[in-house]
Amino acid sequence: MPEGAPSPREFVQLVWDQGKAHHRDLPWRYVDDPYAVMVSEIMLQQTQVKRVLGYWPRFLGQFPTVDALAAASTADVLAAWQGLGYNRRALALKRAADECSARNAGRLPETYEGLLALPGVGPATAAGVMAFARCKPGSYLETNVRTVFLHVLFPEQEKVSDKVLEPLVALTCPPDHAREWYYALLDFGAHLKATVANPSRRSASYSRQSTFEGSHRQKRAELLRIALDCPGVGLEEAHAQLNAFERARKREQVPQDLFDKLVAEMTGEGFFALEDGRLQPR
């Protein structure tokens, strides 16, 4: 532990106490289905809990299993994701389901390494599935967990790297209660972020989220909505609808070269196909 910080025992007791004091009852907790947990973990990336609360049960109602998600069209998956943001996550989740359905009989891999090999699954998501669905210890480092470690163990330091934090996260995770431990860390971290200046800003990996309104990301999201709402829409009409969206917000129209770039990006990433000058959902 860092010099001057609480001992491991003191730190662990503090987290248990604070986690109990600020416990949140969330629907994806104490769920043993790795797929349902992975959906929640991916939805919660860069998205507030209150927004995910509505999406998670609806998404699982529509795609209750890995095989159900794999059998669905990409368009249906993206439509179910609309409004949640960061639509690449939906594509990655669909591709992970496709792979598991084709190669693993509709089951997620049982190891951290196997999960990490899936499309769109990073270290935090893989560790989260292992801890929350399988109660396996590991180093689960996401924004609320990072907040606790920075606030308690590095209160005065700036630019603290995850390489410094990761071994401490692994060290303090109990072998028999990983699920409950990380719930306590998440709840303590959420409380800290609501009551003190966000400690995660002192992380070396911290970057301020860019403004969505008027951004390239918003234009992509609107173009996707147009393609999903109007299957087979022509490029000229799609461009006109995107321009109308921008004008309604008192912004300049989207230049042709930028529109062409948006279409090229999104067809290349698999959001839709371009066939005979029309945007076709996949």
- Of the candidates 53, 26, 56, 36, the one whose C-alpha atom is nearest the C-alpha of residue 129 is 36
CA distances from 279 to 64, 91, 223 (A): 29, 17, 10
- Which residue is catalytic, options 10, 41, 236, 275? 41
Where do runs of H (alpha helix) occur along the chain? Answer: 8-21, 34-43, 49-62, 66-71, 74-81, 88-103, 112-116, 123-134, 143-153, 162-172, 178-195, 216-229, 235-248, 256-269
Q: Which residue has the tokens 């990983």?
A: 178
Two tokens, residue 253: 């129209």
Consecutive H or E run containing 280: strand 278-281
In our burial notation (b when 16+ CB lie closer than 10 A, e otherwise), range 212-250 reads: eeeeeebbbbbbbbbbbeeeebeeeebbebbbebbeeee
**How many angstroms separate the CA atoms of 63 and 243, rounded?**
34
SS3 18: helix
- The secondary structure element, H or E, covering residue 281 is strand 278-281
Q: Which two tokens mark 249?
A: 């917000």
Active-site residue flag, 41: yes
Active site residues: 41
